[in-house]
Structure 1
Amino acid sequence: MNKPSRRAQKIMAAATTPVAVIAAGALVYQASYAAFTGQTRNSGNEWSTGSVSLTDDDNGQARFRVTNMLPGQTESKCITVTANASVPSTVKGFAINPVTSVQGLENRILMSIQAGSDGSFADCTGFKPLQDAANGVIVADAPLSGIAQKNTFETAMGGWEVPKGTNSRTYKLTWKFDTTGMTQSQIDQLQGAKTGVDMQWEMRTAEPTS
């Protein structure tokens, strides 16, 4: 194959130059359209948190403060818990600050807790337990030592599903000094013993669903 002459090579080189110029011109021409734009906006997006608060009607007083307790003695009292929630929430009860005794008195104090309506811290008269067994009877004759182990929201007792708004529920707490099956000597060893626990109710917002 014969090589093109020097003159032909120059012509071919010259011929490629206009093509390059045309391509560059096209790029500039297309780039000039970038001056035309369009926009749309979704304005005012913002987020704020909900709020929950939980109160009771004890006015800072202990629910039970029993002295000179005798075997077989029992007592029931109530406390009303009010939830104010801007979103659905759950209320549970658990024990904190347990006081144990050398004699093990906490094993002999049996507690029952019922949920219901009416009644108050000042007077339990008129208390109406919930008919739903799952929510009505929260604890039945459980030793105080066992209740003391329910000490976090995750291990808490009950599970009141609170709707949005202000709602109240009354809890009836009953204790009994049970010495069933004990000898007189064992009962006598409990003399002078002291035990105790704080009952705390906590409300948490419901888990979000996808």
Structure 2
Amino acid sequence: MPVGLMLSGVLVWQASNATFVGSTANTGNNWTAGTVGLTNDSGGVPMFQITNMVPGDSGSHCIKITSSASVPSTVKLYSDVSAVPTNNISSYINLTIEEGNGGTYASCAAFTPVGGAAYTGTLANFTSTKTSFANGVGPWSLTGNPPENLSYRISWSFDSSAPNSTEDGSTPHVSFIWEAQNS
């Protein structure tokens, strides 16, 4: 009997060890994040460094923004200021900001606006109300198929009715900031 129990145990062990096996695999999985990136063609040179203005003076400058975003995104323009002067004349500087095609930092000659002005008002208003992505000028919608370009023409005029108190005045140091956020 002990030999019979041992023999039946070996048979059960062998039977439970004999199975069919099948498998499949899906290898090489990975995840890569998209990108949201912007550049401009200014080469780091400010668009405006105007000196010795008098009431009635005006000018404009263009800049081309290029997106390298690989995902759908939204771009808005806003400002940041530093070094606000004692005699701040930004309420006498009128701005018009247009979006379009063809303009570059080197020249606005080929600029063609798309739609109406994106912003019209004073520099003071722009720098106090367009201070973040949430309240910035725009949106410019990106498809996520780079490169995508949009030119901006920023025109200014020094109000012809600016009072004598604006003599020797200046504006804050203004940064124009284009920000893209994926949508």
TM-score (normalised: structure 2):
0.81
- The CA deviation at 1:97 is 2.7
Higher mean alpha-carbon deviation, 39-48 vs 95-104, is at 39-48
Question: For each residue in 1:21-69, what CA deviation from the matched residue of structure 2 results, as whole angstroms up to 9, or x when unmatched?
Answer: xxxxxxxxxxx69x77776555443211112221111111110111000
TM alignment of 1:42-121, pairs within 5 A: 42-121=26-105
C-alpha separation in 2, matches of 1:69 and 1:129: 27
- The CA deviation at 1:160 is 0.6
Task: Indicate if the aligned counterparts of 1:100 and 1:106 stay in contact, CA closer than 8 A.
Answer: no
1:204 aligned onto 2:181: yes
- The CA deviation at 1:99 is 4.0
Structure 1, unpaired ranges of 5+: 1-31
Question: Which structure has the bigger radius of gyration?
Answer: 1
Task: Indicate if the aligned counterparts of 1:92 and 1:203 stay in contact, CA closer than 8 A.
Answer: yes
TM alignment of 1:121-200, pairs within 5 A: 121-131=105-115, 133=116, 137-140=117-120, 142-149=121-128, 150-163=130-143, 164-180=145-161, 187-195=163-171, 196-200=173-177
As a proportion of its length, which structure holds more helix?
Answer: 1
Question: For each residue in 1:157-202, what CA deviation from the matched residue of structure 2 results, as whole angstroms up to 9, or x when unmatched?
Answer: 111101122111110000111144x6xxxx1111111113111111
- Whichever residue aligns with residue 131 of structure 2, its letter is N
SS of 2:90 mapped into structure 1: helix
Cα distance change on mapping 1:125 and 1:113 into 2, 3 Å:
same
TM-score (normalised: structure 1):
0.71
- Whichever residue aligns with residue 147 of structure 1, its letter is F
Structure 2, unpaired ranges of 5+: 1-15
Higher mean alpha-carbon deviation, 95-104 vs 163-172, is at 95-104
Task: Indicate if the aligned counterparts of 1:80 and 1:170 stay in contact, CA closer than 8 A.
Answer: yes
Aligned residues: 169
SS of 2:169 mapped into structure 1: coil
SS of 1:148 mapped into structure 2: helix
Match of 2:13 in 1: none
C-alpha separation in 2, matches of 1:69 and 1:156: 28
